[in-house]
Amino acid sequence: MSTVIQHIETLLVDLPTIRPHKLSMATMACQTMVIVRMRHSDGIEGLGEGTTIGGLAYGPESPESIKRNIDTYLAPLLIGQPSTNIHSLRTRLNRHARGNMIAKSALETALLDAQGKRLDLSISELLGGHQQAHLPVLWTLASGDTAKDIDEALLRLEQRRHCDFKLKIGANPVDQDVRHVAAIKEALGDRASVRVDVNQAWDESVAVRGIQALQDAGIDLIEQPIPAREHAGLVRLANRFNVPMLADEAVQDARDGLGLICRGFSGAYALKLAKAGGIYGALELAHVAQAAGIGLYGGTLLEGTIGTAASLHAWSILPEMAWGTEMFGPLLQKDDIVVEPLNYTEFGVEVPKGPGLGMTLDEDKLAHYARK
């Protein structure tokens, strides 16, 4: 008799951050995660996480809608289905439910976690084995205060925690943002790589002026300077400047990635499980990018440890992440809901070991932070 999915529980978990995290579209002092607990008829429980940024400020899914849509629409599609045919279950979800990529990602992670536990294999082993056991991790400087950001970066360098830094800009006038970024780059010099994420805040004419100034200041990478759907503009910017453009919101999946390549884009792609509906979708985009010589970057929606571990397993099987990763979400949170946190060391993080995700929930912490 085949193993089937018996029950799917979702929990909203609110974890405070170590400091306000300022983005172009929101400022966060708390991160809300949707934790999925998927129980199977063989007694195994798979864990997943769906997380976004700033409620509805970032995209069409909020934590509350992720939970509600899993409970109401997606979980019933999976309950009673065989547990081990993950590709068939992905197809079933996509056939009956449009969008909801973060929710689908959380469910796919839970399926893979359970299958790994079932076979005593890590998720990276399920996917063929890791090629990198340690991945570089940058840190986002997002206090909005230049002096505080410089002090924070210098401390992270001294701790050997991070040597690459990203600045969230776009909420302020472009000249003010450029002065802020240029001052930080000047203070850090050649000791660190400095990049910026504009989070779609500029139009193309503003972007031309801002990117030129940032390039002159020695910034290494410009992430999503203009709105996601303006593919032609992003290609023009990529071809106009020497500093590379990083496409993030513009590339949700492999189809988007192929479309940008066909338009002549050169630069880099940010991979995110949440954009692509899970590990398999993100890896499909990665393979398209690799075939075209597009550099890769492991992105985050500031997931907690469960979601971050899933991403690390995915990125670890790729031969190279030319621009590293930003899998620092757990470090931004004041506490954790797992027994053994991820090991951040030597400017990066170790890929977790053990069956499935390699993570065990701390039931007391989960109960404390779960929304009542």
Distance separating the N- and C-terminal Cα atoms of the chain: 38
CB 133 within 8 A of CB 358: no
- Say which residue the tokens 């536990």 belong to: 117
Helix axes 279-292, 101-119, angle to 10 degrees: 100
The one-letter amino acid at 263: R
Look up 230 and say whether it is catalytic: no
CB 270 within 8 A of CB 239: no
Sheet (strand 139-141) strand order: 139-141, 164-168, 193-197, 222-223, 245-247, 268-271, 295-298
Which residues, at least 6 apart from 54, have a Cβ–Cβ distance to it below 8 Å? 23, 25, 26, 27, 28
78/158 Cα distance (integer angstroms): 48
Look up 326 and say whether it is catalytic: yes
Per DSSP, the three-state class of 15 is: strand
Q: Which of 152, 249, 303, 326 is catalytic?
A: 326
Q: What DSSP line would sit under 209-260, residue for residue?
A: HHHHHHHHTT---EE--S-TT-HHHHHHHHHH-SSPEEESTT-SSHHHHHHH
174/181 Cα distance (integer angstroms): 11
Q: Which of 104, 117, 168, 275 is catalytic?
A: 168
- How many Cα atoms within 13 Å fall on the side-chain side of residue 190? 0
Which sequence positions are flagged as catalytic? 168, 326
